[in-house]
Amino acid sequence: MIKTEFPITNKFLEVKRVFKNGVNLACREEVEHFDNISGQLLIDLAEMTIDGMGGDTIIEGVKLDLWKDRVWHLIERVGILPEYKDIADDIEQMFMNDNWYDGQVEEDEIEEGEIEDFMNDLGFTSTDNGYV
């Protein structure tokens, strides 16, 4: 029985009903329907959070954080989320495989007099402190 005075509960019960009936991942309409109703419920819960409600706030007899957990649990179980890609590992791997800088300066990289020319271009002279 759906009660109109409990909109969050009603939306969750609809998401749960669709989940229990099964979401055929091969059927685009079923996936989109589940995605739309669960997504709208998450938007409603997110708006409550943005409006300043804490996770311990009781909404229709249930903590806000528990509502979020319930919805995410169903979404994860249906399997419509894309595979998680850890970008930190990708960045680390990129730097491990890239030899663009290994911290070592090879002797033949700097020609004789290049440092002096560079320092002179910056306005330093050989008598200035810190001039190498």
| DSSP string across 54-93 | -TT-EETTEEHHHHHHHHHHHHHHHT-SPPP--HHHHHHH
Q: Measure the CA–CA gap between 110 and 114, rounded to whole angstroms.
A: 6
Q: How do residues 61-88 score in pLDDT, each as one tens digit?
A: 999 999 999 999 999 999 887 777 777 7
Highest mean pLDDT among 26-35, 103-112, 119-128: 26-35
Q: How do residues 17-49 score in pLDDT, each as one tens digit?
A: 999 999 998 889 999 999 999 999 999 999 999
* Residue 1 pLDDT class (50, 70, 90 cuts): very low
Q: What is the pLDDT of residue 47?
A: 93
Q: For residue 10, which amino acid is it?
A: N
pTM for the model? 0.58
Q: What is the pLDDT of residue 11?
A: 93
Q: What is the pLDDT of residue 97?
A: 62
- Locate the domains of the chain by residue range: 7-78, 87-121
Assess whether pLDDT exceeds 70 at residue 102: no
Q: Measure the CA–CA gap between 17 and 87, rounded to whole angstroms.
A: 35
Question: Averaged over 126-131, what is the pLDDT?
Answer: 62
Question: Averaged over 85-93, what is the pLDDT?
Answer: 71
Q: Measure the CA–CA gap between 53 and 14, rounded to whole angstroms.
A: 24
Q: What torsion do the CA atoms of 66, 71, 73, 76 make, to the nearest 10 degrees?
A: -150
SS3 96: helix
Assess whether pLDDT exceeds 80 at residue 13: yes
